[in-house]
Amino acid sequence: MKKTSPEQPVYAQIALDICARIARGDLKENTKFSGRSMMSSEYGVSPETIRRALNLLQDEDIVTVHHNSGVVIKSKDNALKYLQQYAYVNDIHTLKLQLKEMMKERELLDQKIFGLVEHIIDLNDRFSYTDPLRKFEFEIPQGSSLIGMTVKEAAFYQHTQATVIAIRRGKQTILSPGPDARFEVSDVIVVIGGIDLASRVEEFIAR
């Protein structure tokens, strides 16, 4: 039987397998094949499961079910269409699984970034007099030209030579914000840089 997604019901797997047999030419159009009792032995399932599989194929206009006299293959083209449709659905399922894995990887990466930033801050606090890089915090005031701008649009580093390592917004802390992070009023910007950056940053955010 054709391998399918473990989430797919058994009757749907059987319907798919029958379609594959029709597409290969093992079961030809206008020919009859065995009914529910014989097929349940072949697939090792109950007659009710076979009935549901055949009803599914009949709904797709692939076979015609004649009660008490077997099943007639009606359309190879429709069987091929069904297989193609399933392949598309299976691709979507695979992509969803890949997305879920990537989100897990991103979460782990975010945790590593958080740990690294915390380590930098800790080192900076413990060796504040010997480390040429210092940590500073600045709140964006009402009316600042930075409000609504991204880090990239503001050219923050180019104007201040300070690197933004975090943005605190209420109870939320955005660690290692990228160039597309957007400033909002009352944001607290956490930056690192030389000890002479404070006045430059204050003037820049007050414009």
Name the range with the highest mean pLDDT among 46-55, 77-86, 99-108. Answer: 46-55
Count of domains forming the chain: 2
Beta-strand ranges (E) seen in the chain are: 32-33, 63-66, 70-73, 134-139, 163-169, 172-175, 188-193
Tell me, yes or no, whether 3 lies in a domain: no
Range of the domain at 200: 133-205
At 151, which CATH number? 3.30.70.1450
Q: Are 125 and 115 in contact (CB under 8 A)?
A: no
Q: What is the CATH number of the domain that holds 16?
A: 1.10.10.10
pLDDT grade for 102, boundaries at 50, 70 and 90:
confident
92 has pLDDT over 60: yes
Kindly state the percentage of the chain with pLDDT values over 90: 38
**5: confidence class by pLDDT, cuts 50, 70, 90:** very low
Q: Is the pLDDT of residue 129 over 70?
A: no
Across 26-35, 44-53, 69-78, least confident range: 26-35
User: What is the model's pLDDT at position 70?
Assistant: 84
Element at 93 (helix H, strand E): helix 76-126
Structure tokens at 161: 């030579």
Tell me the pLDDT tens digit for each residue of 139-166: 999 999 999 999 999 999 999 989 999 9
Would the CA dihedral through 143, 145, 146, 150 be positive or negative? positive
Model pTM score:
0.41
Residue 127 falls within a domain, yes or no?
Answer: no
